[in-house]
Amino acid sequence: MQDHLNLSQLEKQLSHYSLNNFKEQFPALKDNNLIYFDSAATSLRPQAVLDAFNQGYGLAGNVERSLHTQALTDLVQAGKQALVNYLDPENPEANRLTYTQNSTESLNLLAQTLGEFWEAQQKNQPQAKYYILVTQSNHHANLLPWIKLCHSYDFLELKTIPLLADLSLDLEYLRQFCQEHSQELLLVSLSAVDNANGMVHPIGKIKEILSTYAPHTWLSIDNAQGSCFNAVYLEKSHSPQGWQADFLVGSLHKMFGLTGIGYLYISPRIAELSGKQDKNLALLAKFFNLNSQKTPEVEEKKLEHLNIPLPGNSLHHQWVGGGFVKSINLREPCYQLQESNPFLVSGTPNINALVTVASNLNWLTAQPLKQLYEYTHTLQKYFLARLASLPQVANLSQSKNICQELQQNQAPVVILPSFGHHISLSIEDGLDIDLGQFLAQHNVVARVGKHCAYPYHEFLGVDSTLRFSLAPFNTKADVDTTIDLISQFLEQNL
């Protein structure tokens, strides 16, 4: 009776939303019966973004190469400023933003750059271990680069912030670790919103802990899942004034934009850590038989913290070449770059995608994002209630001790903890894969597997899950059709 009452209330709430034909803006959903529940992987694109792509593809030339292409350059720069205004409305500075291919490339670029910097910092210093903290629920893109980095440098060690029984982060562990290792903790890297289950982490509280107990520790946030509703997630993560992260990464294909555009946004204190780069040209100078001047040795200074640069050290660009060179001197040898952002990538960028960013952000910010978020969350709750009404299903979506309850569970289908716009199912005997295939045959798109979150699934003790990730273009009818298909499958296979 409670489920029926809950469903009735949710149906009434859904009927109150007026989304002004939001779904009709997406060509992929027109004139077909496609039901798309995979927005956590990639969002669909509205007509406005596709129009910008078609128009941009017709523009001739390269950016920042001639006066003829100034309009193209201005369009790309306008997109960059629009993205920064969206991500950091309190202090938007376009020169602190770097475009990459995606979030994964941003995090790999970050790891490589920091590794080189830290290696230079710790030379001639007493042997010590330094730490990078991650979480068990991080996406692999926010795990593998740090694992690889720690394998490359003996002085680095990876540590994990444990998950509590309700899947939230153990902030007491973080506080104690910061107190005990304030001088050795270099970086905390985590997601704003978990990709596997949609949980929003309290970034504001985490930043407060770091500021109090480990002020020199840098904070890196994977905002891939949070970018689409940035302001909403800022509020939910207790960070209303902004992310306050040293590094913020994300991808526009999670923001109703095109693939091939990622971003890495750095804090002002990181932007200051760029300087004259006097490396990588020694072999070239030797080849040309040029007289290289030996760089004066810097007087050794006691290291205050590995993140505080010693004299002569700075963050160095990893991909250099054409685009922003100020000068090259083969006799030193050294070079200087025009920009202060140490993460800028040289070479011709993904122009055809970048010309859509301004239109993408203009379209996105014109939407009633808070209302769209609330509607989609209400639809998620309706989806959960419909699932919970099926006789084969145990509803553990609000569990406060999920591992223990999973061990005690006897039902063949379990709704795992699910937050925001995510729904996660576990089905016995690997039938989640079969159900995913069955749904695909009926034009319902969902995602099966470990969702690039192996440690998270290991923590739960499940092999794989079926994830539904909702968006504002989804409807009650989409949910009802999907529930009917799930019910049909379960009756046939259990």
Domain final position from 329, 362, 395: 362
Are the C-beta atoms of residues 212 and 150 closer than 8 Å to each other?
no
Contact 222, 191 (CB under 8 A): yes
Do 168 and 248 lie in a common domain? yes
Same domain, 107 and 184: yes
Same structural domain for residues 155 and 303?
Answer: yes
Verify that 347 and 283 share a domain, yes or no. Answer: yes
The candidate with the shortest Cα–Cα distance to 144, out of 463, 462, 454, is: 454
Does 203 share its domain with 289?
Answer: yes
Are residues 470 and 412 part of one domain?
yes
* pLDDT confidence of residue 302: 65
Task: Indicate the angle between helix axes 369-388 and 2-15, nearest 10 degrees.
Answer: 150
- Residue 152: left if φ>0, alpha if ψ -120 to 50, beta else—which one? alpha
* Last residue within a domain, chosen from 309, 344, 362: 362
Cβ-proximal residues to 65 (8 Å cutoff; 6+ apart), any chain: none
Non-local (6+) Cβ contacts of 213 within 8 A are 175, 178, 179, 182
292, 333 Cβ separation under 8 angstroms: yes
Residue 403 pLDDT: 96
- So what's the pLDDT on residue 127? 78
Predicted confidence at residue 288, as pLDDT, reads 42
158 in helix, strand or coil?
strand
> Residues 80, 88: contact at Cβ < 8 Å?
no
Tell me: do 25 and 90 sit in the same domain: no
Phi-psi region of 98 (alpha: psi -120 to 50; beta: other; left: phi over 0): beta
Final residue of a structural domain among 319, 334, 362 = 362
pLDDT in tens, the chain (494 residues): 344 458 999 999 999 998 878 999 999 999 899 999 999 999 999 999 999 999 887 776 777 666 557 888 888 999 999 999 999 998 999 999 999 999 999 999 999 999 999 999 998 787 789 999 999 999 999 999 999 999 999 999 999 999 999 999 999 999 999 999 999 999 999 999 999 999 999 999 999 999 999 999 999 999 999 999 998 998 988 887 788 999 999 999 999 999 999 999 999 999 988 754 444 444 444 434 444 444 444 445 567 899 999 988 889 888 888 877 889 999 988 888 776 788 988 888 888 899 999 999 999 999 999 999 999 999 999 999 999 999 999 999 999 999 999 999 999 999 999 999 999 999 999 999 999 999 999 999 999 999 999 999 999 999 999 999 999 999 999 999 999 999 999 999 99
Phi and psi torsions of 49, nearest 5°: -75, -40
Residues 93 and 181 in one domain: yes
Q: What pLDDT score does 275 carry?
A: 57
Q: Does residue 269 share a domain with residue 204?
A: yes
pLDDT of residue 268: 93
Q: Are residues 357 and 231 in the same domain?
A: yes
Whether the CB-CB separation of 405 and 167 falls below 8 Å is answered with: no
Number of domains the chain is built from: 2
* Domain around 100: 56-362
**From residue 490, how far is each of 186, 387, 412 by CA, in Å?**
49, 12, 9
- Residues 278 and 119 sit within 8 Å (Cβ to Cβ): no
Kindly state whether residues 65 and 185 are assigned to the same domain.
Answer: yes
- C-alpha–C-alpha distance, residues 487 and 261, integer Å: 39
Residue 282 has a pLDDT of 44
**Cβ-based neighbour number of residue 419 at 10 Å:** 19
End-to-end CA distance of the chain: 25
For residue 253, give the nearest of 375, 367, 147, 356 by alpha carbon: 356
Q: Is residue 51 part of a domain?
A: no
Both 122 and 270 in one domain: the answer is yes
Q: What is the widest separation between alpha-carbon atoms in the chain?
A: 87
Backbone angles phi, psi at 247, to 5 degrees: -140, 130
pLDDT at site 73: 86
* Closest residue by Cα to residue 380 from 411, 424, 434, 413: 424
The pLDDT score that the predictor gives to residue 286 is 43
Q: Given this model, what pLDDT does residue 67 score?
A: 59
